[in-house]
A and B are shown apart, each in its own frame.
Chain A
Amino acid sequence: MAELSCRQCEELAEELALGVLSCHERADALAHLETCSSCQDRVSALTATADRLVELLPPVEPPAGFEQRVINALTPPPSPRTRRWQLPVAAGLAAVALATSGWIAGRATHNQTPTGASPQTQTGNDGQTGERTILYAPLTTAEHETPEHQVGQAYLYPGHPSWIYLSLDAPNTTTAGTINCEVVRRDGSTVSVGSFPLINGRGSWGGPAPIDRDTLATAKLINRNGHTLAKAHFGRPRSTSGQHSPPRHSEHRLRGHS
């Protein structure tokens, strides 16, 4: 492997960014980038330009049937052990999924995405065809849970599978590095669900999380020193007791449309 100078690397930078160097040239250039931040920055910027060029390619609607084939591939059927008894249920869910596949872009876009730290609780009928519930709570600094101390948003879907999405936007924070996400249950037990990098006070992460609506209390973001950076509190589910929780969180009924 030849050691490249910055000048030699510069001559390869465009082709490296475009992904068309030979294996040997690419290896030499990458080796140089390991030790040269200025060349690294240059190639990174050129790569962004190359990426943007590809993104300008005209969108084309795929042939009929493509969407269904892809969705079938992404949502495999249940295991044989459970398939027999689940079949009618699965068919119903699939029908709902197909009928409501516009739910996220539709309802949430227009009138149900929360904006502040004092969201209102919204009601609806779980199980009604074409509707589902995503829980939302503002992420606020650990010390302050007022609207003006909101630093992000937490969304949780307590379904099957359950998942979480956390977004932090606190550009003036001094915290940096990896942030851990934890879910705290009402009995005080804590489950670590994932982590994400915080860059200039901003970062987001989403992924699977074991969430039970009845036991969920709080989602927390913890920095590498173990300090709680922000929390999102989820009220008790509106349930059988008939008593309302304080309006700290909201439940989003996302009615589908095709």
Chain B
Amino acid sequence: MSVRRTPAAPISDDMLLAGLGAGDAEAAVAFVRRFQPLVFGVAVAVVGDYGLAEDIAQQAFERAWRHAALYDPRRGSVRTWLTRIVHNLAVDAARVRRPAPVDPQDLLPLIAAIADSPERRVLASEASEQLRVALATLPPEQARAVVMAGVHGLSTREIADVEHVPVSTAKSRIRAAMAKLHAALPVLRSDHG
């Protein structure tokens, strides 16, 4: 067996999750502090309401705590796993509460924030940066479609209604956008899944 040393590294997300799942109070504190901006940011972006987002973010941490033993590193990082948890909770909450369709104009600041966040670029991975650039260069109608679907959880029919276009057009926009975003991330094809 060949040897491959693991380089010095900070305490990993996996290790923190293990401590959280074991009921370690200090690991729980560190886990929450490490991930709360991510978790709350996802919740706020989807539901648009700070109070509801707080409830969702708390539920997400509680779910991560209860299900820590089910985390499977083959299916993505702890960060990805936790993002999925909070995103699913937020989309479910938004679907129940959504009193009115998402206004496409309201998406513009969010798309801009995703696509252009200089302060976060310092720490961003190359893949994230590639995706950010790809999103920024999408035609606006495709960017709206993929954000409405991927972030807000709107179905193709809902997007068609919001944009006043046929369902087939909404579907084409989603497919075209995803194809371009996916093409920008060739490395993901091998490290996810």
Chain A: residues with CB nearer than 8 A to chain B? 11, 14-15, 17-22, 41, 44-63, 66-67, 69-71, 73-75, 93-94, 97-98, 100-105, 108-109, 113-116, 132, 141, 148-153, 155, 157, 159, 161-165, 167, 169-173, 196-197, 199, 203-209
Contact = CB atoms under 8 A, between A and B. Distances in A.
Interface residues of B, number: 93
A51 B80 contact: yes
Contact of A161 (B23, B32, B83, B113): B23
Contacts of A93: 25
Contact of B1 (A17, A114, A162, A173): A173
Interface of B: 1-12, 14-30, 32-34, 36-38, 40-42, 44-45, 50, 53-54, 57-58, 61-62, 65, 68-69, 72-74, 76, 79-80, 83-84, 87-88, 91, 110, 113-114, 117, 120, 127-128, 131-132, 135, 146-147, 149-151, 153-156, 171, 174-175, 178-179, 181-182, 185, 188-189, 191-193
Q: Majority SS of interface residues in chain B?
A: helix
Contacts of A98: 29
Given A62-B57, A70-B61, A52 B131 contact: yes
Contacts of B128: 52, 55-56
A11 B80 CA distance: 25
A163 B22 contact: yes
B38 A206 contact: no
5 smallest CB-CB distances across A and B, nearest first, come from: A206-B18, A59-B37, A163-B22, A48-B192, A101-B29
Contacts of A14: 174-175, 178-179
Contacts of B42: 54, 57
Contact of B153 (A20, A57, A62, A103): A20
Contact of A149 (B3, B21, B135): B3
